[in-house]
Amino acid sequence: MTIGGHFTYFITIFLMIAGLFIVIARGNLIKKLVGLGIFQTSVYLLYLAPAKLVGGTAPILSPAFTIYSNPLPHVLILTAIVVGVATLALGLALVVRIREGYDTIEEDEILALDAARDREAQAS
């Protein structure tokens, strides 16, 4: 168990934490979505790094090579990338509607506006 052997995991963890930090610490909705994208790409790296065999090649069969990297995680991540962009599109549509409804996309201001509306609805 060496540091060099686990280097890819450390990079993955750094990217994951960076994405997580952006999502929970920044208030702007579009920046949160970008942070979520960073988190997703770190998960792709988490799956792809163990699939690689040093000395192997891409999993396209050909008579010139004998060792191939594992194709199964590639398939999973291909699906994950497309699903990720689908959720990003839906998230952005929601952000656009929020902007039209509240006229802001900062999370603090949206919560304050909601609280003010609740107070008005209770007072009336």
Partner 1 sequence: MAVTVWVIIQSRNLFSVIVLGGIYSFLMATVMVAMDAVDVAMTEASVGAGISTVLLLGALYLCRSEEAQPMRKPWLPLAVSVAVAGLLVYGTLGLPEFSDPQAPIHVHVAPRYLNEVKQEVDVPNAVTAVLASYRGFDTLGETTVVFTAGAGVIALLRRRRRDRQS
Partner 2 sequence: MKNDLILRVIAKLLIPFIVMFAVYVQFHGDFGPGGGFQAGVILAAAVIFYALIYGLADARKVVPESVVESMMALGVLLYVGVGIAGLLLGGNFLDYFVLDPDPVHGQHRGIFWVEAGVAITVSGVMLKIFYMFADRGKADE
CB of 89 to partner 1, least distance (A): 6
Neighbours of 104 (CB within 10 A): 15
Residues near 61 by beta carbon (within 8 Å), at least 6 away in sequence: 68
- Host H or E run for residue 31: helix 29-48
Q: Is residue 89 a contact residue for partner 2 (CB under 8 A)?
A: yes
Q: Which stretch binds partner 2 (CB under 8 A): 3-11, 24-32, 88-96, 102-110?
A: 88-96
Judged by CB under 8 A, the residue of 1, 60, 64, 67 near partner 2 is 60
Cα(31)–Cα(36) distance, rounded to whole angstroms? 9
**Exposed (0-12), middle (13-18) or buried (19+): which is 99, by Cβ within 10 Å?**
middle
CB of 68 to partner 2, least distance (A): 14
Residue 49's binding partner among partner 1, partner 2, none (Cβ under 5 to 8 angstroms by kind) is partner 1
Phi/psi for 18 (5° steps) reads -60, -45
Task: For partner 2, give the closer residue by CB, 11 or 105.
Answer: 105
CB of 34 to partner 2, least distance (A): 16
Residues in touch with partner 2 (CB under 8 A): 58, 60, 78, 81-82, 86, 89, 92-93, 96
